[in-house]
Structure 1
Amino acid sequence: MPLISSKKPSKQRKFYFNAPLHLRHKFMNAPLSEELQKKYGVKRLPVRKGDTVKIVRGKFRGHEGKVAKVDLKKVRIYVDGATIENSRGERVFYPIHPSKVIITNLGEVDKVREKIINRRKR
């Protein structure tokens, strides 16, 4: 999915970090579980609040929970149960990149998501 024409890594990084929010939505893609891939005929979809995901990389590998928050600015998601303690002793969400999770259950399949699925069908 080339978003810009340059092959220079520095320009690709510059585009990634300065991308507008409507394009950042494309960075939020996460693979679907095998059952969902068969059901919808799509390999990956953008993660949304309310989806159930399984973390497959990092500190919380194997943890499964609902997506509590999606941060387009930082390109990170926050999963219920994946928390750490900050310097004040409060429990805060640990930011997780969407490519490091697998969507195991879609939250709500509304018209917009249905449109994305139909467009991407193999």
Structure 2
Amino acid sequence: MKSEWSSRWKASSQPRKQRKYRFNAPLHVRHRLMSVRLSKELKGQLGKRSLPVRKGDEVRVMSGSGRKTTGAVSRVDLSSLKVYAEGITVKKVDGSEVQRALEPSNLMITKLNMDDKMRRKQLERKALVKKEVIAKEKKEKRD
């Protein structure tokens, strides 16, 4: 375990290697670790279960003290693997309010921010591939 990071650590069942995988992961892997599950409507439209969260997405807190609150994502922190949403705050001792750090696993995306052309293209491409796979499976079942 001397190397800085290895994708093989993900396959390990040892908690220390799982932690090392997450803490030392490069940014492109950390982005995938920030995946949030989709609402039933979005899941039906896109044919996907989860997507990496982005700034501008509308999210709903599913568990924790801020449960059932919604807000737009204002910041995604890849270094701490946390999400910050507008309207979900915590009061400090001095009385000021700061945004509460949220774990991606406790969130659900209710509305996607589709301003990014690359994200839109990626979703369309993956939806086409999924439709082709489903059609191919149906054809094989008939034969």
TM-score, normalised via structure 2 length: 0.76
User: Aligned-pair RMSD on alpha carbons?
Assistant: 1.7
Which blocks of at least 5 consecutive residues in structure 1 are unaligned? none
Task: Summarize deviations over 1:80-108 as a string: whole Å, max 9, x none.
Answer: 11101223322101000111111000012
Q: 1:73 maps to what in 2? A: 79
Displacement, 1:116?
Answer: 3.8
Give the aligned residue type for 1:43: R
In structure 1, which of residues 58, 62, 71 is the aligned counterpart of residue 68 of structure 2?
A: 62
Equivalent in the alignment of 2:31: 25
Letter in 2 for 1:22: H
What is the letter of the counterpart of residue 112 of structure 1?
A: M
Determine the C-alpha separation between the residues in 2 that align with 1:92 and 1:4. Answer: 38
Q: Whose helix fraction is larger, Structure 1's or Structure 2's? A: 2
> What does residue range 1-122 of structure 1 map to in structure 2 within 5 Å?
3-5=7-9, 6-7=11-12, 8-117=14-123, 118-119=125-126, 122=130
Helix, strand or coil at the partner of 1:26? helix
SS in 1 for 2:75: strand
What's the CA shift for 1:60? 0.4
| Counterpart code for 1:89 | G
Amino acid at match of 2:23: F
- Tell me the distance in 1 between the aligned counterparts of 2:65 and 2:42: 25
* Structure 1 stretches of at least 4 aligned residues deviating more than 6 Å after TM superposition: none
Query: How far apart are the structure 2 equivalents of 1:30 and 1:109?
Result: 18
Computing the radius of gyration over CA atoms, which structure comes out larger, 1 or 2?
Answer: 2
- Percent identity, aligned pairs only, is 40
The CA deviation at 1:115 is 4.3
Please give the TM-score of this superposition, normalised by the length of structure 1: 0.88
